[in-house]
Amino acid sequence: MQRSPGRVAVLIGASNLAQGLEHALAGTFARLGSDARVFVACGRGRSYGLRSAFVFRGLPAVLDCGLWRALDVARDVSRDTAPAAALFADVGNDLAYGVEPERVLAWLRRTAERVGAERMAFAGLPLASLARLSPAAIAFWARVIFPARRFDAGRVLAHAVELDQRVRELARELGGAYVELPVSWYGRDPIHVARPARRAAWNTLLAAFGAPHHAVPPLSGWSLVGLAAEERTLCGVPLGRAQPCRRFAGGGELSLY
C-alpha cells in the first residue's frame, strides 16, 4: 500500500536560513512530523524579487524560482489546498539592494499569498541589534556583508524601521504570526544570528507551526553538505539539481529552490 505524502512546509529566507538550515529543518520535522516535505528557498544574498549573486554563485528571485511549480505538483499529489505551514525570513535583505520598503512589502505579500499556508510566521528585522551600533559601525558591517553595494547606512536603517512595521501589519492582516528578533540572538555581526543562539532562535521562529511533539530524523550539518538549489549559476554557467535533494529517515524530504 502506498504511503500518503507528509505535510508540506515552506521556508523562505536568505543567509540566516542558509546558516541555520539544520535547526530550521529539525524544528519543522518536530512540529509537522518526520515525514514532512520541506520546500526551501534561501541562500546568501537571496532576494524576494531580484536575481541575486553571492561571490560567483547566482540565484533566481524567490518569486521566479521553481518553488511554485513544485508547490503545484505537491498540491496535486496530496490533494491539499495549501501547505501546512510557512516561514518568511530575511526580508530586510532587499533593502541592501536599494529597494524601497513599499516594493519589498509588495514582494513579500505576493509570496505569502501565493504560498497560502494554513499557518504563517513572518520574521521581523533585527532592529534591536542594529540599534546598538553607531552609523559608522553600521557602514562598516554593510561593507563587510555587502561589499559590492554602496548605500547610506542611515537611510537603510530608517527603511528597516519602516519595513519592520509593515511586516508586522501584513502578518496581522494575513492571520500570521509576527516574530520580533531579540538582541540576545546576535553577536558582533548585527544581522546574522550567532551560532550559539541558532537552535533557540529557530525554535522561536517556528513556534507558530505548532508544538514540537514529533520525533526528528537524524540531522547534522554534515548531513546537509553538498546540497544545491534546483536552479543556480556558477561563474555565469547555469547549473541544475534534481529535487528533492535529500531524503531522511521517516520519509521526510528537503527540496531547495
d(CA 189, CA 174): 31
pLDDT at position 139, please? 72
CATH class of 8-256: alpha beta
What are the domain boundaries of the chain?
8-256
d(CA 176, CA 21): 22
Identify the CA nearest to 186 among candidates 11, 14, 16: 16
**Residue 79 pLDDT class (50, 70, 90 cuts):** low
| Spatial contact of 87 and 23, defined as CB atoms under 8 Å apart | no
pLDDT at position 183, please? 97
Q: List pLDDT tens digits, range 104-118.
A: 999 999 999 999 999
- Residue 31 buriedness (CB in 10 A; 0-12 / 13-18 / 19+): buried
Answering whether pTM is above 0.85, one says yes
Identify the CA nearest to 138 among candidates 147, 146, 130, 129: 130
**Strand 246-247 relative to strand 253-256, pairing:** antiparallel
| Spatial contact of 201 and 27, defined as CB atoms under 8 Å apart | no
Does residue 154 surpass a pLDDT of 90? no
| Spatial contact of 30 and 24, defined as CB atoms under 8 Å apart | no
C-alpha to C-alpha distances, 210 to 11, 84, 198, nearest whole angstrom: 15, 10, 19
